[in-house]
Structure 1
């Protein structure tokens, strides 16, 4: 085994919404709220955001387990949610989310530059997502037109389990031809996405501002004063640190110094 080859980074695996595109990870939010409204259930945006990063079927299941949601369903139907109900909600959700997603495909500021810099270092660019294939068919095409084509794409539903399980990362290692896991960095805006990386044995970098942890649109973030920004940053950072992130930065625009730091740690024999 070539030890020298092993002590350098080989790939970065990026999440999609809230990481590369869709500042604030907003596309699914309205869709979740509308989905439940269609079934006569009132769901708040903060509630909808709770399970973000999970595969969307798992996300819907988690929402049906919220006491307030479960009580509304019970009152309406005289019985609790069943798996069949969740399947039905998911079938309705996918086209809803696919329909709105083109409106939320703007790149996060600095994302394309960060990806270019990652490639310039000779690293592979992988991607995993909580979106399923039908939704990603729409997203990936728009992203490609804008100049982002990662070396692979693993979707929720491709494998037996989604986040926080490491299976999408394992598939990425195989797709990209990279190993060991500690030669790979996972970048994500959700706690379960951070844990997807940790559970695979990789370095995990959390994004505090660009995604679900902050839960703000770019305009909302830009409108905050310095104290307001720091309060959001502190709250989001605490959430991602609690999930186990090795590093927490505002957005992918700040990734390069972290890659330098990880490379230095690998050279010293450190592992995640």
Structure 2
């Protein structure tokens, strides 16, 4: 996207990105696998599909939601003879954190197209925010690794650092608005691969773009995706798109690589008088 693509007089000011499955870690594998491994250390079998269910929430809330799953809770009660409580959430979180910190670097590779898209956004004069369900301790490991590969937003908000809470509330997105000095939330676009992340953007009053293939909803590596036959790809793509649209996405594309053309469309819709609160998903 060069400076001639966005229409003259456009009102876009910023794009706010999620991290895993959006900017880095095609398939959003890092957080998912660690949840499986952390629960396994307590003798609880959690499938990758179960682990993906609450993705996008802060990691402590994610653990809480997994324990609320009927099948997982049944395992817990069978093993420990009682229902799980807040102390168990704390214990699982304490087990999860060092495992995630140790392994997040292995999943820091940018999603194809991400570096070029961020460069294009800056060339357009747009500010780049970001937020994540990752705690700050995990981001402190991920951020320098991602920056060395060309992924360096103007601002980053972690899932555990706002007293008001995380997704699906608007708080992390709005923290970016404040830090970046954005004058109108309607001039922001939230880009995310999870339903809580899309709901976050909608609750903040922003335009929202869902990513169907690169993130949590499909949940496979790029090589695994390419190895699928066309029918399987279409089935997974359609299911992911339906879920993200259901969460409130205005647009859904496969990955960040397709974002520039969507931003052009959003800018044009704004100029026609459309606003995020009542715009029809496309």
TM-score for both structures, normalised by structure 2? 0.93
Among residues 27, 50, 55, which one is paired with 1:24 in the alignment? 27
The equivalent residue for 2:125 is 122
Partner of 1:265: 269
Instruction: Please state whether the residue corresponding to 2:151 is helix, strand or coil.
Output: coil
Offset at residue 76 of structure 1 (A): 1.6
Contact 1:133 1:156 survives alignment (8 Å): yes
2:10/2:268 contact within 8 Å kept: no
Deviation at 1:7, TM superposition (A): 5.6
User: Contact 2:114–2:151 at 8 Å: present in 1 too?
Assistant: no
Aligned equivalents of 1:222, 1:244: Cα separation in 2: 28
Number of the residue aligned with 2:198: 194
- Give the alignment of 1:210-225 within 5 angstroms: 210-225=214-229
Gaps of 5+ in 1: none
Instruction: Report Cα offsets for 1:139-191 as digits up to 9, x if no partner.
Output: 00101111221000000111121100000011100010002111000000001
Q: CA deviation at 1:227?
A: 2.0
Matched residue SS, 1:13: strand
Q: CA deviation at 1:88?
A: 1.3
* 1:131 matched residue in structure 2: 134
Q: Corresponding residue for 1:203?
A: 207
The answer as to 2:45 corresponding to 1:42 is yes
Q: Secondary structure at the match of 2:189?
A: strand
TM-score by length of 1: 0.96
Note if contact 2:253-2:259 (Cα within 8 Å) is conserved in structure 1: yes
Please point out which of 139, 145, 148 is paired with 1:145: 148
**How large is the RMSD of aligned CA atoms in angstroms?**
1.2
Give ranges in structure 2 of 5+ residues lacking alignment: 1-7, 277-282
Contact 1:184–1:202 under 8 Å retained in 2:
yes
Q: Mapping of 1:64-79 within 5 angstroms?
A: 64-79=67-82
**Contact 1:7/1:183, CA 8 A, preserved across alignment:** no
Distance 2:94 2:271 in 1: 48
Q: Aligned equivalents of 1:166 and 1:33: distance in 2?
A: 28
1:6: how far off? 9.3
User: Are 1:236 and 2:240 matched, yes or no?
Assistant: yes
Matches within 5 A, 1:33-182: 33-159=36-162, 160-182=164-186
Aligned pair partner of 1:226 in 207, 224, 230: 230
Q: How many residues align?
A: 268
